[in-house]
């Protein structure tokens, strides 16, 4: 691939670009191997680096929680397979961090020495680094559509509670046809679709519907935490 080839960065609502890759768990065809599941595809700058190590240990420790929400994890860096294997072995055998130890990373870590996948997904941002991927996070739905993209710089580790909140939020918005306000967490009120006619707006403002309206265009309703968790986590 030429140095100056330009890539259109994928956007929210796009189909996740397809690729075939070698990973620490064997070869994958992305995203077709994950059809029917949510996937979080994330990049990290380099193996054997401290922020990335803290992130991998955290993600691996939370993998079961993500899997229970029908979500698989797939990591990527521009390092090679043997570096990946050696780094993951070191993490398991040697690193104890914030109460996490013997952490086994069971999700696939893509080798991307050619940087082809990183470029396709806009994970290489030359102003930050031309040789290392930034910390990108793509949330891809069971139909292979990109639903959320978050980027972090090299110097700042991700907030994994937020990544989990985003996943549960996307699934909740889909399942209940609602939108979710600032800082929403399961159990908080949700936003109902805007009034589509003057009559509906009037009814809402007169308190004739089972919702709380701050104004005609901003109404919320209750959505039980149990109902959310039962739907999203099948619990
Ligand atoms: C890190 O993961 O520690 C790291 C990686 C690349 C640049 C800076 C920090």
The dihedrals phi and psi of 205, each to the nearest 5 degrees, come to: -70, -25
In the three-class reduction of DSSP (H, G, I as helix; E, B as strand; rest coil), residue 42 is classed as strand
Mean of pLDDT over the chain: 96
CA–CA separation, 23 vs 105, rounded Å? 12
What is the pLDDT confidence band of residue 234, given thresholds at 50, 70 and 90?
Answer: confident
pLDDT at 5 over 80: no
Pocket residues: Cβ below 6 A from ligand 1: 45-46, 49-52, 132, 154-155
The stretch 197-226 carries a mean pLDDT of 96
pLDDT at residue number 188:
98
Percent of the chain with pLDDT over 70: 97
Instruction: Determine which of 92-96, 112-116, 139-143, 229-233 has the lowest per-residue pLDDT on average.
Output: 229-233
pLDDT at residue number 190:
98
What is the pLDDT confidence band of residue 2, given thresholds at 50, 70 and 90?
Answer: very low
Ligand 1 center–CA 1 separation, angstroms: 26
Ligand 1 center–CA 51 separation, angstroms: 5
201: which residues sit within 8 A by CB, 6+ positions away? Answer: 195, 216, 217
> Ligand 1 atom closest to Cα of 132?
6
Instruction: List pLDDT tens digits, range 141-176.
Output: 999 999 999 999 999 999 999 999 999 999 999 999
> Ligand 1 atom closest to Cα of 55?
2
Please state the pTM of the whole predicted model: 0.95
pLDDT at 23 over 80: yes
pLDDT at 45 over 60: yes
Mind telling me the catalytic residues? 52
User: Domain 19-158, what architecture?
Assistant: 3-Layer(aba) Sandwich (3.40)
What is the residue with the minimal CA distance to atom 7 of ligand 1?
Answer: 154
The structural domains of the chain, with segments of one domain joined by +, span 19-158, 177-232
Which stretches does DSSP call E strand in the chain? Answer: 19-23, 26-30, 38-43, 71-77, 109-111, 135-140, 146-152, 190-191, 212-215, 218-221
pLDDT at 1 over 70: no
Fold adopted by 177-232: Antioxidant, Horf6; Chain A, domain 2 (3.30.1020)
């Amino acid at each position: 691939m030429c140095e100056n080839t330009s890539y259109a960065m994928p956007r929210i609502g796009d189909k996740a670009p397809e690729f075939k890759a070698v990973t620490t768990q064997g070869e994958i065809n992305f995203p077709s191997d994950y059809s029917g599941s949510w996937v979080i595809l994330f990049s990290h700058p380099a193996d054997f680096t401290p922020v990335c190590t803290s992130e991998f240990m955290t993600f691996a420790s939370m993998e079961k929680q993500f899997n229970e929400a029908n979500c698989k994890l797939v990591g990527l860096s521009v390092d090679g397979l043997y570096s990946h294997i050696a780094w993951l072995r070191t993490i398991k055998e040697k690193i104890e961090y914030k109460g996490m130890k013997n952490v086994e990373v069971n999700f696939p870590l893509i080798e991307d020495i050619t940087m082809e996948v990183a470029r396709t997904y806009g994970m290489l941002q030359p102003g930050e680094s031309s040789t290392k991927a930034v910390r990108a996070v793509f949330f891809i739905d069971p139909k292979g559509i990109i639903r959320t993209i978050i980027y972090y710089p090299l110097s700042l580790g991700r907030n994994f509670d937020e990544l989990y909140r985003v996943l549960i939020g996307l699934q909740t918005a889909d399942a209940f046809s609602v939108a979710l306000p600032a800082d929403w967490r399961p159990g908080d009120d949700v936003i109902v679709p805007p009034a589509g006619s003057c009559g509906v707006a009037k009814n809402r403002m007169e308190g004739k519907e089972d919702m709380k309206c701050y104004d005609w265009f901003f109404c919320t309703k209750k959505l039980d935490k149990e109902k959310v968790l039962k739907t999203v986590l099948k619990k």
